[in-house]
């Protein structure tokens, strides 16, 4: 059942990138970006959410404005950039629907720092600390979770804004949820999309890992960061002993919550596109945690991801809570 809060009083703050996934072939441009995906998925499920990020004053920014308004996502901390464009990510898919990020389009000028291809980079790279600080207070007063990923760390301004939000969330008693969402192309456009983080990049990510109360990572991300994809090992390695979920495509989902471990087989569904499935899972997980659900929340979250896999793009196929319950009843 949806929580009885207004979208104006968000329970989950999603900070980071909103962008366009340019899918090929054959579906063209889709609105995406992991934090934007999670914010929209939470709102569809009935959990009030807010998106904290920065967009260009362009057609992509306007499309997001309309999307967030339609979903009821709080945008009081959404920033607008008159100089830098919104980011377009080139996404390739194989025959099974799995995707790989292959660079960017849509920037102005030559190569820029931190993954931007324009002299000024992309709007999401320029998330402003002062603007964010001014908007955070009222949002943190109602929030119970701050959801972040590692992409903002690839750009100095966005990294400073992310670090500020994490500090203020900790001071306000708001728990941190971290979806590692490792994307080397955002750090270096020439990087191999399959490469892991360097020691310097791991050092930048470590403070987020240490603060997290909930950590979601793919199996390869866990191995890069912890030398093991066992969620119990990951949990034990971190000072707050967070709840940990390790995903591995179609393999069973593994978890460690409050010292208890287990696994959950993936739902077998016809896959059209895996883009955003992990973000729908994250939204389902946070939605369930806000309802104090124990292990069934992982089945609910997994169903959210499975339903998104059956449609194109990250946001359009996101299910309502009723749709998830119907899927679970049939499976």
Q: What gap in Å lies between CA 239 and CA 243, rounded to an integer?
A: 12
For 219-249, letters b (16+ CB in 10 Å) and e give bebbbbbbeebbbbbbbebbeeebbbbbbee
Mention every residue, 6+ apart, whose C-beta is less than 8 A from residue 133.
164, 168
Domain ranges of the chain: 12-330
User: Per CATH, which fold does 12-330 belong to?
Assistant: 3.40.1190
Q: Kindly state the DSSP code that residue 240 receives in the 8-state scheme.
A: T
pLDDT tier at 24, thresholds 50, 70, 90:
low
pLDDT of residue 4: 41
Mean pLDDT, range 143-164, rounded to an integer: 98
The answer on pLDDT for 129 being more than 70 is yes
pLDDT of residue 287: 96
The answer on pLDDT for 106 being more than 70 is no
Contact 35, 148 (CB under 8 A): yes
Mean pLDDT, range 235-254, rounded to an integer: 94
Element housing 162 (H / E): helix 156-172
Residue 147 φ/ψ, nearest 5 degrees: -100, 130
Q: What gap in Å lies between CA 64 and CA 81, rounded to an integer?
A: 14
pLDDT of residue 98: 55
> The pTM is what?
0.91
């Amino acid at each position: 059942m949806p929580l009885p809060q207004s979208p104006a009083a968000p329970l989950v703050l999603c900070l980071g990138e909103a962008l366009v996934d340019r899918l090929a072939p054959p579906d063209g441009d889709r609105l995406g970006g992991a934090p934007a995906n999670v914010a929209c998925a939470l709102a569809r499920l009935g959990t009030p959410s807010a998106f904290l990020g920065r967009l260009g004053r362009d057609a992509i920014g306007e499309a997001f404005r309309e999307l967030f308004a339609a979903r009821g996502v709080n945008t009081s901390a959404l920033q607008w950039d008159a100089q830098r464009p919104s980011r377009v990510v080139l996404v390739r898919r194989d025959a099974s629907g799995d995707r790989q990020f292959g660079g960017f389009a849509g920037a102005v000028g030559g190569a820029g720092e931190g993954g931007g291809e324009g002299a000024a980079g992309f709007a999401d790279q320029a998330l402003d600390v002062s603007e964010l600080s001014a908007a955070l207070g009222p949002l943190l007063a109602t929030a119970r979770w701050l959801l972040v990923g590692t992409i903002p760390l690839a750009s100095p301004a966005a990294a400073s804004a992310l670090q500020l939000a994490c500090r203020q969330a900790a001071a306000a008693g708001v728990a941190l949820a971290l979806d590692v969402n490792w994307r080397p192309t955002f750090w270096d456009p020439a990087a191999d999309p399959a490469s892991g983080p360097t020691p310097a990049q791991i050092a930048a990510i470590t403070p987020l890992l240490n603060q997290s109360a909930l950590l979601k990572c793919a199996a390869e991300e866990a191995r890069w960061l912890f030398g093991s994809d066992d969620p119990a090992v990951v949990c034990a390695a971190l000072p707050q002993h967070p709840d940990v979920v390790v995903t591995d495509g179609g393999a069973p989902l593994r978890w460690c919550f409050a010292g208890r471990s287990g696994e959950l087989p993936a739902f077998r569904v016809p896959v059209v596109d895996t883009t955003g499935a992990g973000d729908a899972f994250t939204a389902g997980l946070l939605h369930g945690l806000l309802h104090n659900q124990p292990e069934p929340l992982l089945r609910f979250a997994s169903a959210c991801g499975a339903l998104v896999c059956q449609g194109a793009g990250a946001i359009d196929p996101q299910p309502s809570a009723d749709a998830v319950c119907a899927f679970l009843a049939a499976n």
